[in-house]
Amino acid sequence: MKIIKSISHMRKQVLMWKKKGLSVAIVPTMGFFHKGHLSLMRAAGSRADRVVVSLFVNPAQFGPNEDLNRYPRDFERDAKMAEATGVNCLFCPDAKDIYPPGFQTWIRVEELSQGLCGTSRPEHFCGVATIVAKLFIIVQPNMAIFGQKDFQQLQVIRRMVKDLNMPVRIIAHHIVREPDGLALSSRNTYLNVKERESAPALFQALKIAEKMVVRGNLSVPEIIRAVKRHIQSFNNTKIDYVFLGHPESLRPCQKIVGESLLALAVWVGKTRLIDNTLLKPQVNHANRKDKSKDL
């Protein structure tokens, strides 16, 4: 596996691959790898001839009072894990090269960046869209793999790629979880023992909502109430938001009519966790009224 720090070396490497007709996938990350990251890397390897993993703790996507300085980092461990997973190139540029003095060009995906995580992290998705655009310009990948755990991020990137005619296929990857349902995250390392016990509250709340919908309860206020009640029954939890709405527009809805996104952000102690699921009403529930007419 090659470890590349310089932007120009990265460009040269990709050019060589492209000349040979090889396809390239990128997996953008902030490092401190876990099984979720590795699963994305394997998915990339199964679809493209060459896999680039970017490792960059992007200062632009952290707010002033967020955890940029204490974000977990372990380059040696990450490099070993990526290599063992079959990654061809670990691209780890310096912040001073990505954001040189005088940098002033930002990508803003207007509507999709507001609401959900955008409410408490107003500049976050501008930072995300800008770094991903820069990575796409530097690496020129045929495809990019993103985790569905960061569902709003995925939709922001999809919109950016569409709006800016970027020739990159965006591939969504399922959420990888601990045995008790907690979505894997580099930030889970912040949790102490007691907080770790409360952390599965998010996954359990999503499951409660899924069951309600399968049983035919399509009322958004009732589902949100049940989700909040479950999370609040755990120690050390504070809800940031519970969102239920359209998975593409990310607009909230009053009633579940088709596939809908249930997304959560919850503080567990001082750690903010996110999770989500797509709620799928059964066809027979969605059409119940029509069917009863036929009988």
For residues 227 and 277, give the distance between their C-alpha atoms in angstroms, rounded to a whole number.
12
DSSP 281: -
Among 185, 188, 198, 237, binds ligand AMP (CB under 6 A): 185
Q: DSSP letters of 13-37?
A: HHHHHHHTT--EEEEEE-SS--HHH
Q: Angle CA(34)–CA(36)–CA(42) in degrees, nearest 5?
A: 105
Among 30, 133, 201, 218, binds ligand AMP (CB under 6 A): 30
Rg (CA), the chain: 20
Per rule CB under 6 A, is residue 173 in the interface with ligand AMP? Answer: yes
Catalytic residue among 34, 37, 124, 173: 37
Among 50, 121, 124, 149, binds ligand AMP (CB under 6 A): 149
Per rule CB under 6 A, is residue 150 in the interface with ligand AMP? Answer: yes
Q: How many residues bind ligand AMP (CB under 6 A)?
A: 16
Per rule CB under 6 A, is residue 134 in the interface with ligand AMP? Answer: no
For residues 118 and 245, give the distance between their C-alpha atoms in angstroms, rounded to a whole number.
15
37 in catalytic set: yes
Residue 182 near residue 204 (C-beta atoms within 8 A): no
Nearer to ligand AMP, 10 or 30 (CB): 30
In angstroms, give the least distance from the CB of 84 to ligand AMP.
17
Among 37, 134, 159, 272, binds ligand AMP (CB under 6 A): 37
**Mutual orientation of helices 220-232 and 201-214 as an angle, nearest 10°?**
150
Pick the piece of the chain touching ligand AMP (CB under 6 A) from 68-76, 82-90, 96-104, 168-176.
168-176
Among all residues, which ones are annotated catalytic?
37
Binding residues for ligand AMP, rule: CB under 6 A, are 29-30, 36-37, 40, 146-147, 149-150, 173, 175-176, 183-186
